[in-house]
Amino acid sequence: MTEDTRSGSPKDSHYAKLRRAHRDAKRPPGQPPAKGPRRSVPGKPLPGARVWLYGLHTVEAALANPKRRLHRLMATRNALARLPIDPEQAPCPVEIVEPKRLEAELGSEAVHQGVALEADPLTPHRFSDLSHASLVLVLDQITDPHNVGAILRSATAFAADAVVTTARHSPQESGVLAKAASGALEHVPQIQVVNLAEAISELSAAGFLTLGLDSEGPETFETALAGTRLAVVLGAEGKGLRQKTRATVDRLARLDMPGAIRSLNVSNAAAIALYAARRHLTDAAGEASAA
């Protein structure tokens, strides 16, 4: 009987186990199995694993972030020429590769634009870092990395001070999320909390108006805005804000839409809310300085 080498077949699994057992038998007593660096695949990072960041804007921003721990940069010659770095003085080793090498490492679905950077995930900021913040986004179990990446991009564009997410039921840092953020991952601080309701209560106690965006909110978002510290809370598409979150925020408000479609993708809703919130804070600051 010959070995079936097709990937994923029962025989393949059986013989893989035999090979591992053979290697383990040859290991000296007490010596643990050799382990290489833990690496992630696009969109599915392991806890504590390195991540692959790809795309020109994403990689350029990561290379310029002194808080990033970088391991290696792989790029085609054309892509490397478009990055504002000197390969001889890059903050990590540089490999010039063919596009097929990048596809083999990242998968055929990754829109890498000829460049990929292996790095450690960023360390989340602490809740205490919000002491001087005036505009914060709070995400209630938004799990799609494309949506979260787009939200981070808008948060950076409108100078939000931080994005607060839950430690569970939110996407971990990945190439997919970073590509959607288009470099914003390096600019807006991210804070992870265990209990979102408690975090919202703490924000309210710290002087933030916690404003939940809800399609059935009793008032419009613009009229609900008040004060000089705002925390805008957004829920996942479909289910929206959880009941506990709705009961915890100071106010619920809606975005008025007179057209035939009465709802938006959560990342688009976040951009509109951030625009309105930033204008409110700018006007409030102007009124305070004129007084």
Task: Give the model confidence (pLDDT) of 228-251 as tens digits.
Answer: 999 999 999 888 999 999 999 999
Question: What is the CATH classification number for the domain harbouring 266?
Answer: 3.40.1280.10
Q: Is residue 43 part of a domain?
A: no
Q: What is the pLDDT of residue 43?
A: 42
Q: Is residue 173 part of a domain?
A: yes
Task: Give the model confidence (pLDDT) of 59-89 as tens digits.
Answer: 999 999 999 999 999 999 999 999 998 888 8
Of the pLDDT bands very low, low, confident and very high (cuts 50, 70, 90), residue 24 is low
| Contact (CB, 8 A) for 158 and 137 | no
pLDDT reading at 290 higher than 90 = no
The vertex-152 CA angle with 151 and 154, nearest 5°, equals 65
**Tally of structural domains, the chain:** 2
Same domain flag for 162 and 186 = yes
Same domain flag for 90 and 224 = no
Same domain flag for 219 and 87 = no
Model's pTM, two decimal places? 0.79
Q: What are the strands, taking DSSP E only, across the chain?
A: 51-54, 70-75, 94-96, 115-119, 135-140, 162-166, 190-193, 209-213, 219-220, 230-235, 251-254
Q: Is residue 8 part of a domain?
A: no
Q: Which domain holds residue 58?
A: 51-119
| Contact (CB, 8 A) for 177 and 62 | no
Same domain flag for 84 and 151 = no
**Angular region, 220: left φ>0, alpha ψ -120 to 50, beta rest:** beta
Question: What is the CATH classification number for the domain harbouring 56?
Answer: 3.30.1330
Same domain flag for 221 and 151 = yes
Looking from the CA of 290 toward its CB, the CA atoms found within 13 Å total 6
